[in-house]
Amino acid sequence: MKFIVWLNALLLSTVMFGQNCSNTLTGYVIDLHDSSVLTEVTLIIAGSEISTITDKEGKYSISNLCARTYTLQVSHPECETQVVKVVVNGNTTRNINMEHHLESLGDVELVAHAHKAKSRTATEQIVAHDILEQNSSGSLGDALNNLSGVTSLNTGNTVVKPVIQGLHSSRIVLITDGTRLQDQEWGVEHAPNIDINAAGEVTVIKGAAGLQYGGDAVGGTIIIEPEKVPVKDTLFGRTIYTGASNGRGGTITSSLTKSFNNGWYASINGTYKRFGDFEAPDYVLSNTGIDEKNISARIGINKYLFGLEASYSLVDKESGILRSSHLGGAEDLVIAINSDRPFIVEDFTYKIDAPRQDVKHQVLKVNGFYRFENFGKLSSQLSYQRNNRLEFDIRRDSEDTRPSIDLQLESTSGQIDFEYTADKTITAKAGISGTFQEHFPNPSTGVRRLIPDYEAYHFGLYTLGSKDFGALTIEAGFRYDYNRIEAEKFYTTSFWEERGYDIEFANFEVEESGNQIFVTPDFDYHNFSATIGTAYEFNTNNNIAFNYSLASRSPNVSELFSDGLHQSAARIELGDLSFKQEVANKFSINFEHNTKDWGFKIAPFANFIDNFILIEPTGIQQTIRGNFQVWEYRQTQARLLGFDIDNRIQLYKNLELNSQFSIVKGKDIALDNTIIDIPSASTRNAITYRIPEVNNLNLKLESNFVFRQNEFPDNNFEVFLVETETTEIVDISTPPDAYHLINFRGDIDFAINKKSTLNLSLMVNNIFNTKYREYLNRQRFFADDLGRNILLQLKVSY
């Protein structure tokens, strides 16, 4: 018996002695939403005192492990603790995914999410969530104006288009919840159909470095993402009401999200916005009201290995166009432009008459992903968009209530993307996409169609990646896009022959009837885009990045086919069938210094654009409806140079100073002249005082100074006035004077109960009711910009 006991003990000790306990377990802890790494994650081997914490790169390492199965307890202050079983057999690598979210107000409100850079080397900026909420009653363009280098091209105060470093419209790619917005962005008075209240985060990439979103982003890319939904059993939401003195109206928006531990979730957001006529310091801006109704909803499931979501959104917006900007004759135009007061000023009203826009934009989308553990993530998406645009003009026959422009654009898109995630020092993506579009102008408007019937096809593929070499990162990418446009259009025979189209495009001719010729233009474009850049981190406080991007953009339908009166723009626009693709070569540098007390960023850029397409006034034309300016598109060689500066100084513990400065110079190299509609240099300075112990009280005083644009082309022209038999100069070139606006904001929190809070905010824009006219506001010829505006905002989070 003793022999058997000794033999068993000997065998057991031999097995234990022979077991290999020198193995190492390593890996990264990764956010399952966007594959960003998580720092300060604690990993504990269950039943032992062995533990470790992830470093600044999200990496962990545990040494001296035996060859067996271990149970890890993984915890993070902003994540739910989870238990992971890992089989160790030799040196083992195991990445761990966690649901990352921040919580407050009794574990019910999703507050923020760690941002993952879209490009490692390009100039990229984020619109803070509180800025989005402050602009709840405004537009996307209003919120983006808070970023350096981003301005806006306005048609009054309700139609606002973003301008990135001097470029706008079709040169800006706008991505909303993973889908490229297709809303006839070619019009200078076509604002993006976006409900800013449905956005969780907005990212701006200056330039074409974000190749996965499109190769034609000559100006940049705006990426709008909804709030992240946590994988946990919770219910949260918010309601924001904003009342404004200018326009005597307001906005109410509300959202509610329900999620479950099993990954299922649903969310809904609604917004209603109503304003009457807005006011300049000295008069009412007649017919500038707005009536907007938006809704968005999504439902889905989000697991570690897979996810699926369906969503729908509707933006329904009716907005008035300043009545004084639509006049009837040359005499009226001369008087209006040379006057300090609008031609028509009426009493305040909520009624919206012609001229006005009525736009409905719908997006239906289904997307999903599947994750191959320790390899990559495959994503796919299918979307359908319908954009209905009605533009109502002032008709000679007041009984005719038909829109002057009635356009419908339908777009069906699909895309597949793959992201490699096995090696955290490498970022690699590839994808393909395709879009089919149909455009239907209503022929029964009684007005010559500005944009013809057409079908458009797009196919694109891209690949991009980056590699970290310690402090050095190298990024590169390539994209190919194929675009095809098939149109049907009538031209007047005289115009067709005057432009030489009868020779250059004789193959498009179908038949001629009277003074009209029916043609079927058919264009194919092959576009190549690329980016290469490098970033170097000197230390934790200083880094620099350099990026070169090549962007190629096909002419849009307006630049090719415009041939008539654009009612809401109140001008005749003429395109050109002979246009070639724009090709832009952009160089940018981004140097950043960031410490607790001082942050500084400077981002110079140079953008050289071949075959740059611009539109400019060339004269005036008499029609049966009055005299209208004629604007023609043309191509040239362009150069844009400039830089953006951001500066932050922590003056005292609770006192912070923020400063911005931006400037861009546009040059028409072919004509040795200045490019039209280049933003003025501007500087924005704000001082903020925070008192956290007094209900998170924040007080902010802001100064916004916009310099006079001293470089501009001379596009003035002469008109003959029949009544006086004289010739007058119509000055549409001289920019307005510089202006300086002072704004204020203060907000404070109040606890309603354990799970809800009230944020009360007071904002005063243009405190001193300053009279000014913005160079990039198309209505500056007819009226001043907005006067003082007092806004009271209530936000309840629950």
Burial of 192 (0-12, 13-18, 19+ CB in 10 A): buried
Residue 100 pLDDT grade (very low, low, confident, very high; cuts 50, 70, 90): low
Looking at residue 381, what is its pLDDT?
97
* Mean pLDDT score across all residues of the chain: 88
Q: Does domain 224-797 have CATH number 2.40.170.20?
A: yes
Looking at residue 207, what is its pLDDT?
80
Torsion-angle region of 476 (φ positive above 0: left; ψ -120 to 50: alpha; else: beta): beta
Strand locations in 189-261 (E): 201-206, 220-225, 234-244, 249-259
- Is residue 648 scored above 90 in pLDDT? yes
Q: Which residues contact 595 (CB under 8 A, 6 or more apart)?
A: 541
List helix spans (H) across 84-172.
Answer: 129-134, 140-144
Q: Which of 96-100, 426-430, 792-796 has the highest mean pLDDT?
A: 792-796
Residue where the block lists tokens 């109503």: 274
Phi, psi of 542 (to 5 degrees): -135, 135
Mean per-residue pLDDT, 284-297: 96
Considering only the C-alpha atoms of the chain, give the largest distance between any 2 of them, rounded to a whole number of Å. 132
Looking at residue 114, what is its pLDDT?
47
Start-end ranges of CATH 2.170.130.10 in the chain? 124-223
Looking at residue 725, what is its pLDDT?
78
Separation of alpha carbons 642 and 289, rounded Å:
36
Q: Which residues contact 652 (CB under 8 A, 6 or more apart)?
A: none
Looking at residue 659, what is its pLDDT?
96
Residue 445 pLDDT grade (very low, low, confident, very high; cuts 50, 70, 90): confident
Mean per-residue pLDDT, 276-280: 97
* Residues 524-539 pLDDT 10s: 999 999 999 999 999 9
Nearest CA to 38 among 52, 12, 11, 59? 59
Looking at residue 537, what is its pLDDT?
93
Report helix, strand or coil for 624.
coil
Q: Which residues contact 16 (CB under 8 A, 6 or more apart)?
A: none
Q: What is the 3-state secondary structure (H, E, C) of 319-379?
A: EECCHHHCCCCHHHHHHHHHCCCCCCCCCCCCCCCCCEEEEEEEEEEEEEEEEECCCEEEE
- Is residue 703 scored above 50 in pLDDT? yes
What CATH number is given for 2-98 in this structure?
2.60.40.10
Residue that wins the pLDDT comparison between 5 and 642:
642
Q: Does domain 124-223 have CATH number 3.50.50.60?
A: no
- List, in sequence order, every residue forming a beta bridge with 202; answer none if it has no partner: 127, 224
- Is residue 447 scored above 80 in pLDDT? no
Start-end ranges of CATH 2.60.40.10 in the chain? 2-98
Looking at residue 568, what is its pLDDT?
60
- Is residue 345 scored above 60 in pLDDT? yes
Looking at residue 293, what is its pLDDT?
97
Strands 220-225 and 655-668: unpaired
* Residues 30-86 pLDDT 10s: 876 666 788 889 999 988 888 899 988 788 999 888 888 888 989 887 777 888 888
Token reading at 487? 């149109």
Residue 104 pLDDT grade (very low, low, confident, very high; cuts 50, 70, 90): very low
- Is residue 349 scored above 50 in pLDDT? yes
Nearest CA to 211 among 115, 116, 118? 118
Looking at residue 32, what is its pLDDT?
67
The share of the chain scoring above pLDDT 90, in percent, equals 61
* Residues 651-689 pLDDT 10s: 988 999 999 999 999 999 999 999 999 999 999 999 999
The share of the chain scoring above pLDDT 70, in percent, equals 92
Looking at residue 102, what is its pLDDT?
40
Q: From residue 733, how far is each of 189, 454, 627, 779 by CA, in Å?
A: 19, 35, 19, 13
- One-letter amino acid for residue 704 of the chain: N
- Is residue 352 scored above 80 in pLDDT? yes
Residue 9 pLDDT grade (very low, low, confident, very high; cuts 50, 70, 90): very low
- Is residue 7 scored above 70 in pLDDT? no
Start-end ranges of CATH 2.40.170.20 in the chain? 224-797
Mean per-residue pLDDT, 176-188: 89
Residue 624 pLDDT grade (very low, low, confident, very high; cuts 50, 70, 90): low
Residue 111 pLDDT grade (very low, low, confident, very high; cuts 50, 70, 90): very low
Q: Which of 247-251, 338-342, 409-413, 602-606 has the lowest mean pLDDT?
A: 338-342
What global pTM score does this model have? 0.87
Looking at residue 625, what is its pLDDT?
62
- Is residue 476 scored above 60 in pLDDT? yes
Q: Which residues contact 182 (CB under 8 A, 6 or more apart)?
A: 385, 387, 409, 411, 413, 435, 437
* Residues 551-585 pLDDT 10s: 999 999 999 999 877 766 667 889 999 999 999 99
Q: Which of 170-174, 431-435, 439-443 has the lowest mean pLDDT?
A: 439-443
Mean per-residue pLDDT, 169-181: 93
